[in-house]
Each structure stands twice: as structure tokens, then as C-alpha cells.
Amino acid sequence: MPTNNITEEEIAEFFKKEENFLLLCHTRPDGDTLGSALALKRGLEAMGKRAKLFCAQEPFANTEFLFGEEEWPAFDKEEEDGDGTVVSVDVASEGLLGSLEGVFGGTVKLKIDHHETGDDFAEYNFTDPSAAACGEVIYRILKRLGVPLADAAEPLYAAISSDTGGFRYSNTTAQTHRIAAELLDAGADNAFIDHMLYENRTQGEIRALTAAYGSMRFFLDGQVAAVTITNDDKRRLNLREEDLGEISSITREIRGVQVGITLRQEKLDASRFKLSVRSEPGFPANELCAIFGGGGHPCAAGAELSAANGKVALATVLKHLADGGEEGVKIV
């Protein structure tokens, strides 16, 4: 469990004191890390500060709209001097910075996060696991700073909607809805944002979903659903990595499934598999992923593991599950 050595009030004073900021997102960026960082960037700029946003990977198709005409925030060693106070947003551990870890590793001044599992890798660390999304934390910080929400309303709403599955997941609270209502009052177009997040798939994403449904297998009397996507699948269906962003969620949509497992073979290292776990309340997805050095939320978590092939990777994960009878699936 991450520990805090700074309060939200102190974070607000931190942002008031510094002038130039470099905001970092996690690799495989979702709507929460992008929306939260973009909202913070706009809030700081409204205060007259300078802020740049960086991410190791390009956005998926469903989050590109957040940037409008703004240039995608990739870090270029040849052009960027890296000068500024480094802040990570929605990054549970330093390794999740991807290639940016080699640039900014050991230099993060402030970490703002909401994941229950993670590392305290910054000089100042703040994590609120009770927040449904990091966007909720950024919202509170911007309120403390007295920044008008108008420019930040759209990315903040996208951040919160993204990490709550459109307000469908169990992490959604009454406070989540109250914040969302205030963001709507501030100008966020919820119909447009949710359409772009959830009803804006590319043809590649449709091919990926078709492959995922085709590979789905069930275990432990239907309590576990598993999907495996190999490099052969990617080549056969002409799939890009960004086409695979939606497949992790489909396993928990099956009636009777308590735990959904998705494995994706790494393109550059065929012996490595990305693991995503989605679960119903009561099964600790983050604890299962922690076995493999990962983490995340109780109902949504991720990790990586090594295996000779997809079958071995799946068997490695399944051996940590057992039939829990009336209690449901549990970790052995």
C-alpha cells in the first residue's frame, strides 16, 4: 500500500510555488492518465505557469479527441531539455512510465495517484485509493487552487468516466456523481465524451474484439473467462497494439464470470505476456497481479509474466486460482 508524505493542501502550495512543470502519464495511456494530466496542465496554465505533458506511447483512438489541435506530447531527447519540476499523474509505479523511465527515472518530484497498489518512487507521494479515478484527485486539487473548471471540465469528465467504465464499475460513488454533475455544469459534454470513449471503435479494434471472443475459454465452472492474443493473431488480422485496448473488459461481461483474464503476447519479446485481470467485487484482481509483480485496483489490475507460449502463460495464471465453491474464485 503506498504511503502519503504530502497532503492535498500542501500539493496546492507546491503548485503555487513552482513555475515550470513536466507532467508524465503512464504507458498504454487510458482516459484517466491522459484526462487527469491534461486537466492539470490546463489548470496550471490558467495560473500563468508553464506545463508540458509527456507520454511514452500514443493515445488509443478513443482518447485522441481530448487533444483537439494540440500536438501529441511525445518526449524527444533531441528537442526537449527536460527542464522543469517533474510530476507523475495516475502512475502507480515508475516502471509504468515505459521508455520515459530512462529519461525521468529518479527525478519525479511529486506523484499523484489513486491505485491501491504501487510504489512510492517520488520525493513527494500522494495516493487516494478511495478516489474512483485520478481525475477526482486532480479535480480537488484544482478546486483548492481556485482554478475555473471550464477548460479542465472535458478532460476531467473523460478521466472519471474512463476509470469507472461510464459510471458502471463498483468504484463509482455518490461523490463521483456529484463531481461529474459539477463538471457538466462547467461545460463538459457528457454525451459527446462518452460516445468518443465507448462508441468510437476502429476497424482494427473490431477485428481485435472478434479475435478475443473467438479465443475466449472458460474454467472453474464458468467462473473464469480467459482470452489470449498471440503475435500470430496480430499478424494474421493485421492488428496494432492500440487495437487491443478494449479487449480486457469483455471477459467480465459474461454472466457467471467472476474473474476475467486477458493475455497479450509482446511484439518485441515473444516470451513476455501482458496480463490484464478484471473481476467482480470480492475477488482481488490486484492481489493476483501482484504475484507477477504488477498491481492496480481491486477489480481491475495488470502485470507481465514470462512464458514459452500463450498456453503456458494462461496455465501459469490459472494455477493461482481455485474453485472457492459458494465463496467464488479465490487465490490459492
Give me the residue spans of the domains in the chain.
8-198, 203-331
Identify the top-confidence range among 113-122, 182-191, 248-257. Answer: 182-191
Residue pLDDT, tens place only, 76-96:
544 555 689 999 999 999 989
Q: Is the pLDDT at 173 greater than 60, yes or no?
A: yes
First to last CA, the chain: 21
Kindly report, residue by residue over 245-261, the tens digit of the pLDDT.
889 989 988 999 999 99
CATH C-level class of 203-331:
alpha beta
Q: Is pLDDT at 331 greater than 80 in this prediction?
A: no
> Identical fold at 8-198 and 203-331?
no
Provide the β-strand partners of residue 295.
302
Q: Of the CATH numbers 3.90.1640.10, 3.90.1150.10, 3.40.50.800, 3.40.50.1970, which one belongs to the domain with range 8-198?
A: 3.90.1640.10
Between 286 and 139, the higher pLDDT residue? 139
324 pLDDT more than 50: no
Report CA Rg, the chain: 20
Q: Which pTM was predicted?
A: 0.83
Q: Does residue 74 carry a pLDDT above 70?
A: no
Cell of 167: 459510471
pLDDT at 125 over 70: yes
